Structure 1
Amino acid sequence: MSDRDEKDPVERMVDAYERMLEYVDGVIGKAEKSTLPSLKKSLDAAREKAVELNELTREEAEKIATYVERDMKEAAHFLVETGDEFRDWFRFDVELIEGRLMEMFASVADRTRLELERFANQARQAAIYRTGEVTGPGTLVCDQCGKELHFHKAGHIPPCSKCRGTTYRRSSEQV
């Protein structure tokens, strides 16, 4: 029986988000500065590895790679637009975030800053986050009612508990 068959599907996708982020961090960490692979290439490799190891179906791996890339673009947009520190992007006490996840997320963002700035320039309009997707740590705001949804680790995006809205945007205000 594979790992795919044993876990709750939502929990399995959240775990896969963290594993994919860890793999991207590892690929970037092993590269020389002069040969730093692009985030996209690292995500492609992570996606293929998850499929090869039978951790995810190809469709699931595509979704998770899309979620990780979206979160990296949003982090870059925040850093480029505000000039603030990465920790301010989360909008809550970073000590609440699981240590290793915070290190990986920050590491990928820091080491790919130039590429992320390029992403940010291409994606000036904030990304839309939808119910059913997986997101990394941070604060999402409901498009319909403005209720904040805080993620201290990767998690599945539920409908808004206040209005049942299904679309969110990453909050860019500081606490």
Structure 2
Amino acid sequence: MTDPDNKNPLDRLTDAYEDILEHVHDAIESAKENTIPGLKDYFDDAKEKVVELGELSREEADKVAGYVERDVKDAAHYLIETGEQLSEWWQFDVQQVEDRMIEMFSRVADQTKLELNKIAERAKEASRYHTGEVTGPGTLICSTCGKEMHFKKTGHIPPCSGCHGTEFRRAGENKD
């Protein structure tokens, strides 16, 4: 990066956006294949690097990292929800974007997509109901046989009367 004191402040922030994205990308690339520390850690490390190098103040680094994280999460959500390619999210031909930028952004968006899927899976697991737990009024559906169990008031969840299953989901939720 050139001398930060002689640069237009907006250009410095734009350059820093790419620097932070590159730092996060490089951290993902150097991580062990089976290890997925949180992207939050990667963003924190990237912010520290640009501050240590004197490229940005701490406040600027927080702001720019927030921009990168916002864009990457938005792209990851788009990829999860639509199954489309990143070029569809950008809504223009990827040939217009530098190859290195495409590779970095894609890798970080893919990592974010993995983390979002893990969060969704944990949320899904947390929303399962099990025999012996307490539930409020409503209908639970057996995960094994689909039999409905109606609770008019708060009560303990018994095994399914149809198959003796012990895992249920709330009626209206999508099946696993």
TM-score by length of 2: 0.63
Residue identity opposite 2:18 in structure 1: E
Give the match for residue 76 of structure 1: 76
1:84: Cα distance to partner?
1.3
Residue identity opposite 2:70 in structure 1: R
What secondary structure sits across from 1:33 in the alignment?
A: coil
Unpaired segments ≥5 residues, structure 1: 122-175
Give the match for residue 23 of structure 1: 23
Kept in 2, the 8 Å contact 1:47–1:65? The answer is yes
Question: 1:36-55 alignment to 2 at 5 Å?
Answer: 36-55=36-55
1:98: Cα distance to partner?
1.4
Aligned counterparts of 2:108 and 2:75: Cα–Cα separation in 1: 10
Identity of aligned residues (%): 52
1:109: Cα distance to partner?
1.4
Question: 1:52-63 alignment to 2 at 5 Å?
Answer: 52-63=52-63
Question: 1:124-163 alignment to 2 at 5 Å?
Answer: none
Per the alignment, do residues 12 and 111 of structure 1 end up closer, same or farther by CA in structure 2, a change over 3 Å counting?
same
Write the deviation string for residues 30-82 of structure 1: whole angstroms up to 9, x where unpaired. Answer: 00122222211100000011111111000000001100110111011101111
Q: CA RMSD in A?
A: 2.0
1:120: Cα distance to partner?
8.4
Question: 1:111-130 alignment to 2 at 5 Å?
Answer: 111-117=111-117
Per the alignment, do residues 7 and 113 of structure 1 end up closer, same or farther by CA in structure 2, a change over 3 Å counting?
same
Per the alignment, do residues 4 and 118 of structure 1 end up closer, same or farther by CA in structure 2, a change over 3 Å counting?
farther
Aligned counterparts of 1:17 and 1:93: Cα–Cα separation in 2: 21
Give the match for residue 9 of structure 1: 9
What secondary structure sits across from 1:35 in the alignment?
A: coil
Give the match for residue 104 of structure 1: 104
Residue identity opposite 1:37 in structure 2: P
1:117: Cα distance to partner?
3.7
Unpaired segments ≥5 residues, structure 2: 122-176
Residue identity opposite 2:35 in structure 1: T
